Structures are given as C-alpha cells and as structure tokens.
Structure 1
C-alpha cells in the first residue's frame, strides 16, 4: 500500500550525476568547478558555524547587498534561492498557469518540474545542429524557459535574438537560465529594466566554486521578485542557511580569484576542444564549463563505459538525439590531459 497521492505515482525524478570517491576517479560528470573556493571562503564557514543556534537572515542581506551591487541591480530586483533549482521550482509552481515551453535537449529539471507541478509543457526541438531558434516558440503559449548557454549542448544564443522575442511577446514571461553564462556570452541581467517580462536565473555553483553550498538567484523587475518571495514566505522563509550566506558573502569579496579560475577553465576548455577534434570527435561550440562531443566510430554508451573502466566519469544521456554524445565537464589541465590520453587509447583499441 502506498500513501503517496496517485497523481505523483508515475513521477520520474531528476537523475543527478554520480557522486564517487574522488581519490579513485577523475570526476568530469556534474559540471562542478574542479577548483576549491578561495581560502577566505573556506574560513567563512568556520566563523558562521559559531552562530548556528540562530536562524539565518531571511533577507540574506549579507549576500543580497554585494550581489546586487555586482550585478548592477536593486536589491528588490534580486531573489535568493537554495540553489538555482529552488528558484526554478518556484517559477514552475507560480508562473506557468498558461503552460511552459522549452527545448527538447536541455536541463532535465525542466521536464521534472513540469510533471511535478502538472504544467502543460510544450517541448520544442532544437535545430539539427542543436542551436535554439526562438521563432519556433511563437505558436506555443505561456512561459518560455531555456538555458543560455544551453546544457548539455553548451550552445549560446545572442541577446539580440532574445530581445526580439521579448519585444514581440510582451505578455509572455521569458526565463533565461544563465548557470553557465560566466564561461561565455553576455548576460541578460542588464536588460531587466527594459523588459518587464524577463526573468534571469543564476547560480554560485559553477563559476564561484560553491556547488555544495546551494546558492542561486533570480533577477527581474521588482514585481516578479515580490511574487517569488510570496511563494518563498509561504513555504520556507529560511531557505538560504547561515553557512551558505557566509560563503556567498565571502566569495563575492574574492572576485579576482573567481575571474582567474574562469579564465583557466576557458583556456582548458579550448585546449580540450582542439585535442578532441584531433581525435576525430564532432563537437558543439560549447560556451559552458563542459564539452558536448561524439565520435563517429564509437557509440556513446560504449565510450562512457570504457572511460568509466579507466576511472574517468563523464555524463551520458540515453535519449534519441544525444545517445552518441558525451557531456564532459572541463576539469584541470592535468585531468583533461589524462582524459585525452584515455580517449586516444580507447579509440586506438577500437580502430586497430
């Protein structure tokens, strides 16, 4: 006997990347930063732990104030969440009454949240080269959401195309998920005052090395943010805990360190693209902290398994359009050199 509401019986949850002992594996499967946060950020946890007997600041002032300043927005235009996934959850819960539309190859949580909140979701296929064409969304209804750069493809859509859609559809909310924007492209955040129907979602998980802290944010006009907070205060006012607020504040004081690691990631990404091309891989022009590639002589699952046997984890999505592709997180230079060596060995074994 199950006590679960029957409407959730067939719910398929999100499948996160495998977590393993990193002493044994090279972990390139969850798009985390391979670099630890700055020493001052680590130390902030120690200081914050002394006040765990108190509830966290529901306004997250210590993070919201410097983050708003960095982003060039007002605090009332900023929403803090327990990771960007929580921000997305509130969006699907509260802003999709008329449905939602998103790409067929994108972040898996969009479909999961559509099912969880029983939203009428329209899946719009990407083009053959995995690029996003917003004109295809004209015939859909309700909210539009997409990741930019997209995941797992890494493809980037220029702001001009997004602005054109915003202007042509002022009555539709457009959510731009910018989890990877720091690794390539221009953010839409500077345009929130121009478009009242624009909501941008960001995270501290990728470029700021805080995947384990769970800190995300949404940026939009004050009315949108007020509505998000209405939902938050109706569920969990203390959604961002004290430790997370402490490290969030600390990392915002270490922007030079963050920028340095972003540059290193981009350099290693471009080096890795070149090496994979030399090995015969076909790739998208990823602007994220990951690669999206396939080899014409090796099935994706076989390559995924072969790498795992060599203690290298990457991500394989068993879906029709992506079953021969691997999403490979950009690690350190040393880690990517070991990946390239392993791939060269695997390919040689298959083609000999």
Structure 2
C-alpha cells in the first residue's frame, strides 16, 4: 500500500521526551524561562466565540509587528507553523537538483537532509574546519549548486559565522541561487544578517519563536527576505495549507515580538549561564566549543559521548548525544537555570 517515496524516507529524530521520571531537561534547546507574562491576561480574556472563524491566512497583524521589530517592510515577512515548516516550504520553493546539489555543513541541523530526501533534492555536506567552523571558501568552489543553507550560529556546534563572513559569501555566491540562513539561535550572542536582505535579493533569513521567546509549544516561525522570495513561500503555503498559524498563536506571537525588554533580560541570563558553564567545564579539563547559542557542545578526552549521556541520564539529567562519526565524543547541553546548571556541574564533577 505504501509508495516508493515513503519507503525511502529517513525521518528526523527529535530529542527524547521520556515520561518515566522527572528530569532536568537539557537536551532539546528549550528556554528554561517562561514566555512574557503579557500573554496570560490575553488568554484569560480571550473570547472563545472567535474560534468559530478561520484565522487570517496572511498573518497581517503579526507580520506587521515583525516588520516593525526588525525595521523592514511587511512584504518582506512570511509566517508559518514553526521554523521547520518555513524551512520545508523554502526547500520546496527554492532548491532542486537541476542546477546542482544543495550544500550545507557536514555537522548541522539534521532536518536538512530529511527535507532533501522528502523532495528529491540532491545534496552535498561540506566538511567543517578542524576547529568545527564554517569556511565560506568551501561553498564558493562548488562547481554547481542549487543553493546554500546553514544555521548561524551553527547547530550542534554553537559556533557563529561572523557577519562579515556572511557578507563575503553573499557577495561571491551566484545571485540567482538562494542562500538560507537559519537564525534560530542568533539572539543568544550572534549578529543577524537581516541588514543584508535589501542588498541581496537571494538571501532568506528564517527565525523561530521557540528559542529566545520561550514559545516552543506554540509552533510559530517566520522568514524575512526579498518580496519575491516571500511571495514564493506564500504560493507554497497556499498549495498545502492556507491556515498554518492559528488565531491564538498569531496573537501570542504579536505580544511576544513586542516585549523586547523582557526577552532581552532572560536572554542575558542564558548567556551568563552559558559562560559560567563553559568556564566550569574548561576548568575540569573539558573541551568546550565557543558557543553563541543557548547550548554548548562539549566533550572530555578519554570519555565517549554516549557514556557522558548515559551517566547523566542516570542522574536525572538529559543532554543530547549524536552517534555520528566526527562528533560522537561530544554532547550538546542546553543552558538551563542557575540551579539546573549548578546541579549539572556537581553531577559532572562526581561522575567524570
């Protein structure tokens, strides 16, 4: 009964969400702090009569709020059901194998090859440098490619590609091929490339409400780029599902995008805890990659990443391990609250 297509799929595997006990969850890069308190009065006063009507398929008020927040035009903003859906629409709209392979980092967001397999897009993974950084020259020597996509900061490494390097990539990459920068973690110390979208019509920035805005359960993401790219995303969206973002999600997104002071405050807490944890692990002899995300990527010589993961899980602490050649001796650790990070450090000192 199944098609050949479904038999070829290798689905994305999300971070585990075990229910057998209470865990300190440092494995899925969720924000340890609640979203803006301004959401609560909206929910308490919401008129359920409004639920009988379809939501705005153009996301008008939310797109307007996003455009104001980032000082761009509303025509340069698209909204979807989480950044994963926005990415999926973008892969469909902009990448095919007629013009060559899609290229992205060897160690990167593991949903990228899943989208490629789903849509039948040929791809090539570009190795990182020995320091786990992206070398833009490796993306410019590719003889034939249909586009580029990478997270910035990268995941799972957390390493940022500086804006001047992003600019250099855009200056030398073919202008008729789209470059997608997945900025899911940029608020935690990176510099966004939003300022480049006026100059480069082939640049698409994708963001999420899940990380810095503490709204992972809401499933809301957005893209920013040239109006032509945005119109293409709307065409894909309206060929699949005209209403991917519901009424409540759109309104909560608008509230969140406007409360910059609250989110700047909790983001700074996460940055502080990241630096505290990084220093503590380095002092214990661990190798910690320089992160500008809400997580760190770390390992210790002589220890297998799987052993670190299993040992901490027995302690009631979840971290993420990738059983992938080249990074199998690292673990990715989401930055938690002060108390969670102190508990983690104490467990690491005791176990390893």
1:184–1:288: 8 Å Cα contact kept in structure 2?
yes
Provide the rounded CA distance (Å) in 2 between the counterparts of 1:24 and 1:197.
46
How far apart are 1:64 and its partner, in Å?
1.0
Counterpart residue number, 1:339: 344
The answer as to whether partners of 1:273 and 1:291 remain within 8 angstroms in 2 is yes
The number of aligned residues is 345
1:22–1:73 distance in 2 versus 1, CA, 3 Å: farther
Whole-Å Cα distance in 1 between the matches of residues 45 and 328 of structure 2?
Answer: 46
DSSP-derived class of the 1:280 partner = coil
Give the match's secondary structure for 1:285.
coil
Distance (whole Å) between structure 1 residues aligned to residue 304 and residue 128 of structure 2: 22
Partner residue, 1:350: none
- Does structure 1 retain, via aligned residues, the 8 Å contact 2:69–2:258? no
Instruction: List aligned pairs for 1:134-149, cutoff 5 A.
Output: 134-138=136-140, 139=142, 140-149=144-153
* Offset of residue 21 of structure 1: 4.9
Q: Which runs of 4+ in 1 moved over 3 A?
A: 20-23, 45-49
Give the CA deviation at 1:52: 1.6
- The residue number in structure 2 matching 1:132 is 134
* 1:140-189 CA-partner distances (Å, limit 9, x unpaired): 41110000000000010111112112111222211110000000121001
**In the aligned structure 1, how far is the partner of 2:107 from the partner of 2:324?**
9
CA distance in 2, matches of 1:231, 1:210: 25
Superposition deviation, residue 44 in structure 1: 2.7
1:89 maps to what in 2? 88
The aligned residue for residue 157 of structure 1 is 161
Q: CA deviation at 1:62?
A: 2.3
- Aligned counterpart for 1:318 among listed residues 318, 323, 326: 323
Contact 1:32-1:206 within 8 A present in 2 as well = yes
- State how far apart, in whole Å, the 2-side matches of 1:48 and 1:295 are: 51
Alignment of 1:1-352 (within 5 A): 3-21=1-19, 24-48=22-46, 50=48, 51-97=50-96, 98=99, 99-138=101-140, 139=142, 140-169=144-173, 170-347=175-352
Could you tell me whether the CA contact under 8 Å between 2:35 and 2:215 is conserved in 1? yes
Q: SS at the partner of 1:212?
A: helix
CA gap of 1:6–1:334, structure 2 versus 1, over 3 A, is same
Name the CA distance, whole Å, in 1 between partners of 2:156 and 2:46. 35
Go from structure 1 to structure 2 and tell me whether the alpha carbon gap of 1:337 and 1:45 turns closer, same or farther (over 3 Å shift): same
Using the size of structure 2 for normalisation, the TM-score is 0.95
Task: Decide whether the 8 Å contact of 2:8 with 2:117 is kept in 1.
Answer: no
Q: Please, which moves more after superposition, 165-174 or 206-215?
A: 165-174
Post-superposition shift, 1:89? Answer: 0.2
Q: Which runs of 5+ in 2 are unaligned?
A: none
After superposition, give the CA deviation of every residue in 1:263-301 in whole Å (9 maximum; x if it has no partner). Answer: 100001000100111111101101000010001121100
Whether the 8 Å CA contact 1:49–1:243 is kept in 2: the answer is: no
Distance in 2 (CA, whole Å) between partners of 1:176 and 1:47 is 38
Cα distance change of structure 1 residues 190 and 47 upon mapping to structure 2, 3 Å threshold: farther
Task: Please give the secondary structure, in 1, of the residue aligned with 2:333.
Answer: strand
- Matched position secondary structure for 1:252: helix
The DSSP-based 3-state class of the residue aligned with 2:79 is strand
Q: Tell me how far 1:4 sits from its aligned partner.
A: 2.0
Deviation of 1:47 (Å): 3.9
3-state SS in 2 of match to 1:101: strand
Deviations 1:99-142 (A, max 9, x none): 31001100010011011111011111111111001111121411
In structure 1, what is the Cα distance between the partners aligned to 2:18 and 2:263?
25
1:209 positional shift: 0.5
Shift of 1:23: 7.2
Paired residue secondary structure (2:181): strand
